[in-house]
A and B are shown apart, each in its own frame.
Chain A
Amino acid sequence: MNTGANAAAPSSLRLILTLAIAGLISGIAIIGIYESTLPTITANKARELREAVFKVLPGVSQMQQFVWRGDQLIAAEDLQKDEEAVYGGYDENGEFVGYAIPGAGPGFQDTIGLLFGFTPEQQLVLGMEVLESRETPGLGDKIYKDADFVGSFSKLSIDPEIVAVKKGTTSQPNEIDAITGATISSKAVVRIINKTHSDWIQRLPPPGSEPPLRQDAGDGS
């Protein structure tokens, strides 16, 4: 390049050329880093999801993604934008255990995203895991730090829906203790699960006729 010679008044061609070269080099660098980190990032995300699914569905060791597409639930590996998915969990023998259903809604501070395990046969919630939240540290964050609260979502009846009550006053199988000092956050969790449950319940096939695990789905590892 003939640098310096016409630095006083560079032609517009030179300006455009400089920007184009800068853009080209930057594009190559970005695509390079994207391609080289993509496998790790995809693997990390898949592992996180698998761990969460296995956590909310005890006894599950294999999973299959189901996508609500064209008004029916089909087994699919991919997920398009604006599509919703649930994850079917199967035990070692390939027997269906339950669904892991992701849900989200407003919490105390910001959106709470969570995943819960659900068995349609007995209408029970099997487990709950908060995936994202910005609840107040020390108070609202008990929705995932308080082992008692998280533990109470095990074998909890959701027929017709979960009800959060004052601590120590649970008497029905579908009632759960709200956290003292974090009533709003714990009620938000319950509301998100109830809403997601009622959204999905008509879409899921009748209990007993769950799709079997596809042979090629593998154990997801």
Chain B
Amino acid sequence: MKKSDSYEEFIKGIWRDNPVFVQVLGMCPMLAVTNSAINAVAMGMATFFVLVGSSFLVSSFRNWIPKQVRISCFIIIIATFVTVADYTLLALVPKVHKELGAFIPLIVANCMILGRQEAFSSRYPVRLAVMDAIGMAGGFLLALFSLGAIREILGDGALFGIKLFGENFEPWVIMILPPGGFLTLGVILLFFNWFKFKKDEFLAEVAEAERGGG
């Protein structure tokens, strides 16, 4: 029972409640850096670190933090993790840091992270909170990667900088420019909508059939 609980928390973030494709959260830092797969993955990893770290801390100290100052405490915790991620990236991978630039500090303003602290970590025990954070951050990473990969493949004919097509491929440059970000996410959301529509239709049919049979 317990086991299935934490598994449930984990899987809901990856698919059913995917922060980007279903809840449409945390888009500010997301669209800007998904012009290549490597940037998207770096941003996803940084967000993963920040979300899991702050969920762990918030959940551990949830009984010590008074309700009145909880938001300020959450923001201080998140900002600390973001600063740590910022300096670590700058020291380890200066090239990627240069590409992401000002968008790493902006992880602070990612509404998904503060939202998880308020809605989940501050109410549940550490194990569940961390599983929830891993699921959500994993879903976020997955979403960033798919956007980055689609945009890089179409816009540059490459994935992680490795050319996929021959010389004759004419890159669809608009995809790595800002409009491509809006269009790609729009089309993916369309796909998720369609999936949900089909599922609802299917469920309705099943219910209909059951009623008819009984």
Query: What mask results when residues 144 to 168 of chain A are scored 1 for a CB within 8 Å of chain B, else 0?
Result: 0000000000000000000000000
Least Cβ distance of B176 to chain A in Å? 5
Mostly, the B contact residues are: helix
Query: What mask results when residues 128 to 159 of chain B are scored 1 for a CB within 8 Å of chain A, else 0?
Result: 00000000000000000000000000011000
- A41 touching B66 by the CB < 8 A rule? no
Which of the 9-residue segments A89-97, A134-142, A203-211, A212-220 touches chain B? Answer: A134-142
Q: Which among B66, B77, B90, B94 has the greatest number of chain A C-beta atoms within 10 A? A: B66
8 Å CB contact of B76 from A1, A26, A44 = A26
- B173 touching A137 by the CB < 8 A rule? yes
The verdict on A10 contacting chain B, using a C-beta distance below 8 Å, is yes
Query: What mask results when residues 58 to 95 of chain B are scored 1 for a CB within 8 Å of chain A, else 0?
Result: 00000111101100110011011001100110111010
The verdict on B26 contacting chain A, using a C-beta distance below 8 Å, is no
The verdict on B171 contacting chain A, using a C-beta distance below 8 Å, is yes
- Provide the bound-state CA to CA distance between A39 and B33, in Å: 27
- B87 touching A34 by the CB < 8 A rule? yes
- Provide the bound-state CA to CA distance between A44 and B92, in Å: 9
- B87 touching A37 by the CB < 8 A rule? yes
Query: What mask results when residues 169 to 202 of chain B are scored 1 for a CB within 8 Å of chain A, else 0?
Result: 0010100110000000000000000000000000
The verdict on A51 contacting chain B, using a C-beta distance below 8 Å, is no
Closest chain B residue, CB of each to CB of A34: B87
- Provide the bound-state CA to CA distance between A131 and B94, in Å: 13
User: In the complex, which residues of chain A have a beta carbon less than 8 angstroms from the beta carbon of B177?
Assistant: 136-137
The verdict on A172 contacting chain B, using a C-beta distance below 8 Å, is no
Q: How many residues of A contact B (CB 8 A)?
A: 28
| Known contacts A48-B94, A136-B177, A137-B155; A18 and B69 CB within 8 A of each other | yes
Q: Which of A15-45 contact B (CB under 8 A)?
A: 15, 18-19, 22-23, 25-26, 29-30, 33-34, 37, 40-41, 44-45
- A22 touching B90 by the CB < 8 A rule? no
The verdict on A195 contacting chain B, using a C-beta distance below 8 Å, is no
- A37 touching B88 by the CB < 8 A rule? yes
- Provide the bound-state CA to CA distance between A48 and B95, in Å: 10
- Provide the bound-state CA to CA distance between A14 and B90, in Å: 37
8 Å CB contact of A18 from B73, B80, B92, B155 = B73
Interface residues of A (CB under 8 A from B): 1, 3-4, 7, 10, 14-15, 18-19, 22-23, 25-26, 29-30, 33-34, 37, 40-41, 44-45, 48, 132, 136-139
Listed from nearest, the 4 A-B pairs whose CB atoms lie closest are A37-B91, A26-B80, A40-B91, A10-B66
A-B contact list, 24 entries, CB within 8 Å: A1-B64, A3-B64, A4-B63, A7-B63, A15-B66, A15-B69, A18-B64, A18-B65, A18-B69, A19-B73, A22-B72, A23-B76, A26-B76, A26-B80, A30-B84, A37-B88, A48-B94, A132-B98, A136-B173, A136-B177, A137-B155, A137-B156, A137-B176, A137-B177
